[in-house]
Every structure is written in C-alpha cells, then in structure tokens.
Structure 1
C-alpha cells in the first residue's frame, strides 16, 4: 500500500467552503482574513489534520525558511562531510538548503552572498576565502556561521588543526625525521596559515627544521610542482595542505623514482575518500567534517552572527586525530634529495 495522501490547501478550502486563496491568507497573512472566517478555516484544517508548510510560516514572519552553504570547491571531497552534515540538520529543521560553489574566489563568494541575501535567512561559509574584515562587515547585515574558519565575533565550527598538526609532528619526530616542509594551500586560506603556524611551533619544540613552500592550489594536479619544490630541499618529511595535494605529491614522487616512505614520508590533511586507496595509503589528519556542518547550521538556528554580542560568539571546536598509514616511515639515513639531484 502507498503512503496516505497528504492533505492540501485545496482540501481545507473544500471543507471550509472558501477559496484556496482564503486558506492561504488565513495562515500566511491572517490579518487580511476576518476573525470568523479565519476561525472557520483553522477548524477545518484541524479536522483534516492539515499543517501549513514551513514556507507559509516563513512568509508570515518575513523569513524564507532557506539557508545557503558556500564552499570554495564543490568537487573537493573534503567538503562532502560538511555539506552532508549541514544539509541533514537543515532538513531536520524544515529548512530549504541551497549549495553554492565559489570556485576558490573571494570575489565570487561575496557576489553570491549579495545575490542570495534576499532569498535566504542565513549563510554557512565553509573555508571562506574572504578576508576577515570582509566577513565581519558582511555579518553586520547577514546571518552568518563559519565552518573551518575563524573570524573574531562570528560563530564558527572548526576541526582542531592546532593539536592535530602537533600530532603530525610528534609522529614524524618519533620516526627520526629532523626536518619537514609544509606544502601550503591557497594564500587566502585561513587553515593554511593556521596549520603552518602549528607545524612550525611543534617542530621547534622537537628541534626540527621546518620550511613553508607554496602556495599551491589544493588539488591533485598541483602535486607535481609541490613535490618538485620539496625535492630541492633536504627535508625528509613532506606535509601537504590537503589530501588531494598529497596524492598528487605521491604520484610525482613515484614518477621520479623516490620510494615512499623509504626515502620520503608524506602526510596530508582531511582523510578524504580515497586516502586509503592510493599507493602507498596516505597518512593523514582526520576530523568530523559532518559534525562541523551540523554545528554550523545549529549556530544559525540560534541566531548566527546576530545572536548576542559580537564579542561573545559561539565557537565549536571538534577533535582531530592522526590516521597512520603506509606513506610515513623511519627517516632515511641520508636525505633523498641529494641523491636525486646528482
């Protein structure tokens, strides 16, 4: 048997003996319907078990019951978890969910916010490429929450990359590595700067040398240039901005005959789908992206950047953990770079 037919506004209109437009106004704009008729419509709706749609309630309150999530690259598997978590929480709240791809462009991100501002009640900005000042300015006029980005005064849900980067360095130091290079992501990436600062600090505590190279686009195709830059250094450990870049690095090292992990260890961030399928399987920092997406929508439901004062924001920090696979191993006795360059 099929599911019971859902009661519609037309069923209520027939039951109440009024026009469907009158039923609509009785719920969406009750002041335009006289009290007697409005009561008659509500009684008919109650008898039939009819409930107005969230959109009807939104129209009554001046809201749209819609939120938008903006991501820099919709094809990057890193964002899949955050998107899934945000969409699921929006669905639970009977909100329409819009997803927008900003193509790693701060200008396109701002343009999308302005274009959608009259159509949505709030925005979730994932790994926003906008400068912090621009985000703060937008928050004065729009309801915002951030994922994997922090701007003072704006609600955010982030994976703890600080302690996670420390886990990476601890792991490499335990394997005898005395130097590392960080293959950085986009210049406007908040997480790239945050990860580098944490890596550099942890390396200093272990007496390890650390160098930042790049920026590189956070995609597999950029791995060749990143690997070549790393091979010109004496570092035995390569830490890539994300797994896509790390997978590209592994591919290039194989092309150049560099054995991983015997001659060089490689680490990524995000633990995307496929990180355990490449050869060798990638050691990477994992975090609950789906929980970050859910938390950001929850922050919007609490009022987002319009809740409380901007000096007392909501901030959710989620734990990260290192997943150790075959791409990391004991440091070689001598650096691989010198052998390759001669």
Structure 2
C-alpha cells in the first residue's frame, strides 16, 4: 500500500501542503518542522509523487558550477564529483561562472529544464539568490555553510589555529590576511575566523584587499603587504599566496627571512613554488564525493539531508614560513 503525504502529515502533526514544501523546497520551512516531517517520511517509507515524477523524467545530467575552472583547487572536486555521478548513472556538465554572481544566477535559470540537479562549488550567490535556486532545482553546495541546504564545508578553523600558533612560535606579532573576492561567503568567513584567532593569541591582525583569487592579483597584494608592517601573512587561497611569493622575489624581499607566507587549500603546485608554500590543507576529493552523494540521494527520491558536513583541515609546514628576522 502506497504511503500518502496525508499520512506523513498526520504522523508529523502538520498540513499536507507543509509536507510538500518540506520535501521539495526545504529552504522555505522552519527547520524543526522540516526535521519532524523528514523523520515521519522515513518511518513510513514515503516517496513524494513529485520526486517519483522527476525520477521518471530523469535527464541523466548534473551540472557542476565552479567560479574559475583554471584554479587547481577545483581539479579534485571536478574529478571526484564526476566519478560519483558516473557511478550513479549521471553525466556531469562542467560550467565556469567566472567569479560572477550574475553569471551564476543566469546559468542556474538556464539549467532548470536541462539538468536533474546542480552542485555549486564556492558559490558566489547571496542568501536570497541561493534560496531561490534551491526552490527551483535540487542542489548541494561545496564550501558554504548552510543549515537548510545540503552542504559540505572544508573547515579551515583547525588548520588556521595551527597556522597562527606556528607563526606566533616563530616570533611574528603582526599578521596580515590577504582577502579574496568580496562576494564570497567563504572569504568573509575565513577573514572573520582569522581576525578572531589572531586577536585571541594577543597578536595584531591586518587585512589587505579584497583581491580576485588569482596568482596575478598577488602582485598588488604583495605591494600592499610591504607597507603594513606585517611580518607574516595568511592568504585567502594558494593562488594569491603564490602570486605574493613571486612579487616579493621580484622586489628583493626574502621569504621567509623578511616575510612569512601561508596559503590555503594545498593546490597542485603549492609544494613546487619558490619557496615551497606552507598551507592549510583539507580533503577536497572527499568534499566533492560527499556533495555528489547527497545530491544523488535527493535525485533517487530520498528526503534532502540538509545541514553542513565539515571536512577537517591541518597545516602543512613548508619553507615559506620562518622566524622573524632580527632588526
């Protein structure tokens, strides 16, 4: 006997229309109510008719949107999501949104009739646009914390704590954060965590930027760093950090003797830079696999498992950090 939405509603103590919103537009309902409905649906073995219809009309295509396909950070995510989706019978459509909020929003609107679902990696959408997208398409997000959307976050906090401890032990007292793109939730979060952790260690935080998260932007970032009085910096990502290293070398600034540099993400090539880059590392392959798996579950008719899965990080110490030079 087929379980109905009415039965789920009765079990959860809500209206049948609330059950529909909870299963198909989770961002539009109170979290406690939604969780109660999901529990009732699982207990009864309920599958919504809209989900069944989606399964029957499956296109076999899932889009992965990234801000910059040339950034090595996304290489492992692209590979791991593709492998996970292929195993489940889906083809991956890779789209570069060019670090643009508007391009990402326009692309999502165009994809509604083309794909079964979407994975957003480091989305540049604001909260309103993200909620609207969730109401229109099944999706998961990578590197964005959200309690009402299935999400996976590479949690820099432990790695950042280790980085600040490391720099303090080397004698650094003034540390700068090289800020990334202003429209990035992740950049705002990383900058906030940086300032809190530096102040907690009774050190002085400085912020320079924002900058686009590319190697070429590291030129301006390095020039700005040299007038701050900072003896060390933590960059939003490794590309910015590598750009900083290259510019400092051009200007005759010795790393790490005159300036210590820490990156974030441990991209391919971080250990080949000159000098090899100290960086905060997390398992990006795992992030991709988890995001794809959670989307596949939704596309297979399971209730969305909203909330954020955290991927831990750690500090990899290489040759771009060292003791403060005596003056």
1:158 maps onto 2:176 in alignment:
no
Candidates 250, 259, 269, aligned match of 2:254:
259
Distance 1:296 1:120 in 2: 16
Residues 17-28 of structure 1: pairs in structure 2 closer than 5 A: none
Q: Does the aligned pair in 1 maintain the 2:279–2:317 contact within 8 Å?
A: yes
Deviation per CA, 1:145-167: give whole Å up to 9, x if none. Answer: 00111234111111111222212
Q: Does the aligned pair in 2 maintain the 1:161–1:194 contact within 8 Å?
A: no
Distance 1:166 1:60 in 2: 45
Candidates 273, 290, 293, aligned match of 2:268:
273
Match of 1:232 in 2: 227
Residues 70-109 of structure 1: pairs in structure 2 closer than 5 A: 70-109=65-104
Candidates 116, 121, 127, aligned match of 1:126:
121
Q: Using structure 1 for the length normalisation, give the TM-score.
A: 0.77
Q: Does the aligned pair in 2 maintain the 1:285–1:320 contact within 8 Å?
A: yes
Candidates 300, 320, 323, aligned match of 2:316:
323
Structure 1: segments with no counterpart, 5+ residues: 1-56, 335-342
Q: Does the aligned pair in 2 maintain the 1:162–1:194 contact within 8 Å?
A: no
Structure 1 residue 168: deviation in Å? Answer: 1.3
Match of 1:186 in 2: 181
Instruction: Give the ranges of 4+ consecutive aligned residues of structure 1 lying more than 4 Å apart after TM superposition.
Output: 57-60, 306-309
Match of 1:19 in 2: none
Deviates more, 1:184-193 or 1:312-321: 312-321
Structure 2: segments with no counterpart, 5+ residues: 1-51
CA RMSD of aligned residues (A): 1.8
Q: Using structure 2 for the length normalisation, give the TM-score.
A: 0.81
Q: Does the aligned pair in 1 maintain the 2:85–2:296 contact within 8 Å?
A: no
Residues 1-342 of structure 1: pairs in structure 2 closer than 5 A: 61-303=56-298, 308=303, 313-334=306-327
Larger Rg, first or second structure (1 or 2): 1
Distance 1:86 1:274 in 2: 22
Aligned length: 275
Classify the secondary structure of the residue corresponding to 2:99. Answer: coil
Q: Does the aligned pair in 1 maintain the 2:147–2:307 contact within 8 Å?
A: no
Distance 2:302 2:278 in 1: 40
Structure 1 residue 179: deviation in Å? Answer: 1.1
